[in-house]
Amino acid sequence: MSPVVRLFQREIALAWGKGGGPLLALGFYAGVVTLLPLAAGPDPKHLAVVAGGVAWVGLALASLLTLDRLFERDFEDGALDLLTLGPLSLEVVSALKCLAQWLVTGAPLALATPLAAIGLGAPPRDGPLLVLVAALGGLAFAFVGGMGAALALASRRGGVLIAVIVLPLLAPPVIFGGAAIHAFENGLGWTTGLALLTAYALAVTALAPFAMAGACRNAFS
């Protein structure tokens, strides 16, 4: 078995076990969807207008709940030192960590997104696009959040630092994804928003591992 496969299996096991798996993120997501009608009123017409956007923003916030410990637990117990000396580069290690986190947390959230939106009043025909947008957005959120988690290593106020770093970088995918959903619901051209979201997700997936690896090396110094 190759080192890549072994490390990927380890990261999935850690994300599912010590990270709580998808339950924490799904529970938070369900709470957002449940509380919105209580705050905005139960009028189906009002809820239907914001259903897709609320489901999308809730996804962005829920995706970040379990990312703060992505590197910290390995940094604290010395496993990150061993991974640094292993056969895989830190860039590959960082990418595998984020991919495993997305598979365990982001994918279930993507599948739950259309259910949440339809429950708030969105038309069922939005379901396939919501799943696609949520999957691409979740991938971007995982790598952006991983970058924030790596930069916050060895920091006493890591949670605040992660928020400062990550939240501005969440704006582009939220805008692109929200624009695609809104355009689709109104019968407009939605492919541009989807294309921009895809480009952002691919760019972050390609570039963020280098930032994560550099941040981990800096934490050792």
The answer to whether residue 103 scores a pLDDT higher than 80 is: yes
The answer to whether residue 58 scores a pLDDT higher than 80 is: no
The reported pLDDT for the residue numbered 117 is: 77
Give the N- to C-terminal CA distance of the chain in Å, as an integer.
32
Maximum distance among all Cα pairs of the chain, rounded to whole angstroms: 58
Minimum mean pLDDT range among 25-39, 112-126, 149-163: 149-163
The whole domain housing 113 covers 3-220
Mean pLDDT rounded to a whole number for the chain: 80
pLDDT tens digits along 133-144: 888 988 998 898
The reported pLDDT for the residue numbered 209 is: 93
Nearest to 96 by CA among 77, 71, 63, 59: 71
Q: Are 62 and 109 in contact, with CB atoms under 8 Å apart?
A: yes
Q: What is the DSSP secondary-structure string of 15-76?
A: HHTTT-TTHHHHHHHHHHHHHHHHHH-S-HHHHHHHHHHHHHHHHHHHHTTT-TTTTHHHHH
The reported pLDDT for the residue numbered 195 is: 93
Domain count for the chain: 1
Angle at 168 between CA 143 and CA 26, to 5 degrees: 55
Residue with tokens 């290690």: 93
